[in-house]
């Protein structure tokens, strides 16, 4: 089945230790998104890629970076995680202008 | 800027009953999409139903239907014959139609629905 896959599902890191979250898709969608979702809140868009074009939301901290080496994969890098970065990170994909399909998320814990 | 408001933080319903979740939005756009997404506890967010603003007919998907009132900027979700598996957080979301590729979803704060037996 075509799908959006996120690895790992659970990630524990230490305060200030860089961490990378992975997303892959078999839907061949040209747009990929990263959202941050804190407990019982709505997802908040961090950035998205339209093909290779990177689009950063204005209020996304510089601590968050992203890479998209090819159509299928997208990575979220958190350079120096703080306690406030503990959250669920959701990857989503879409064809341009259409509804988004979400992965299962990676729950990040910062110790 | 667009905003989406879900005024019911929590709702509960018995199995087999019908429940309606409310959503209002604010936009100056004429063409847009509206969605309801479901996020079960510790599980993946999935699309429940979508509505194109240019369509007058309300969307339906099996037990799920919407009441779309464009003039009132209202987009409620009705769940008929509720099942235990409907227990989840439900998000109403708005997306502009056309325009720049990769347009963001604007989410409401969500409604937690609990279905009990």
List the single residue in B with minimal CA-CA distance to A105. Answer: B44
CB contact under 8 A, B112 and A90: no
Q: Which of B33, B99, B107 sits opposite A43 (nearest CB)?
A: B107
Task: Give tens-digit pLDDT for B22-63.
Answer: 999 999 988 899 999 999 987 889 999 999 999 989 999 999
Residue A96 has its nearest CB partner, among B50, B102, B107, at B102
Q: Cβ(A66)–Cβ(A74) under 8 Å?
A: yes
Taking only Cα atoms into account, the Rg of chain A, rounded to an integer number of angstroms, comes to 13
Give the residue carrying structure tokens 């989406």. B4
Whether residues B109 and A94 touch (CB distance < 8 A) is answered with: no
Q: pLDDT band for position B99 (50/70/90)?
A: low
Check if B2 contacts A (Cβ < 8 Å).
Answer: no
Chain CA centroid to CA B67, Å: 10
- In three-state secondary structure terms, A47 is strand
Residue B3, classed as helix, strand or coil, is: strand
B47 touches chain A (CB under 8 A): yes
Angle, CA of B72, B98 and A22, to the nearest 5°: 105
Specify whether the backbone of A19 is left (phi greater than 0), alpha (psi in -120 to 50) or beta: beta
- Residues A44-87 pLDDT 10s: 999 999 999 898 888 899 999 999 999 999 999 999 999 999 99
């Amino acid at each position: 089945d075509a799908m959006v896959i996120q690895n790992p599902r659970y990630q524990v890191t230490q305060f200030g230790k860089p961490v990378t979250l992975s997303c892959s898709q078999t839907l061949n969608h040209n747009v990929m998104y990263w959202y941050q979702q804190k407990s019982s809140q709505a997802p908040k868009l961090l950035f998205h890629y339209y093909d290779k074009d990177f689009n950063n939301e204005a209020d996304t901290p510089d601590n968050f970076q992203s890479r998209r080496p090819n159509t299928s994969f997208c990575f979220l890098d958190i350079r120096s995680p703080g306690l406030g970065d503990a959250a669920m990170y959701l990857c989503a994909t879409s064809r341009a202008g259409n509804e988004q399909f979400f992965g299962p998320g990676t729950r990040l814990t910062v110790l | 800027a667009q905003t989406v408001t879900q005024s019911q933080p929590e709702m509960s319903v018995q199995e087999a009953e019908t429940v309606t979740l409310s959503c209002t939005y604010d936009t100056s756009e004429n063409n847009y999409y509206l969605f309801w997404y479901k996020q079960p506890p510790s599980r993946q967010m999935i699309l429940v139903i979508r509505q194109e603003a240019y369509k007058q007919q309300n969307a339906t998907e099996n037990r799920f239907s919407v009441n779309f009132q464009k003039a009132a900027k209202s987009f409620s979700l009705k769940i008929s014959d509720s099942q235990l598996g409907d227990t989840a957080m439900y998000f109403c979301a708005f997306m502009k139609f056309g325009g720049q590729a990769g347009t963001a979803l604007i989410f409401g704060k969500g409604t937690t629905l609990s279905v009990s037996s």
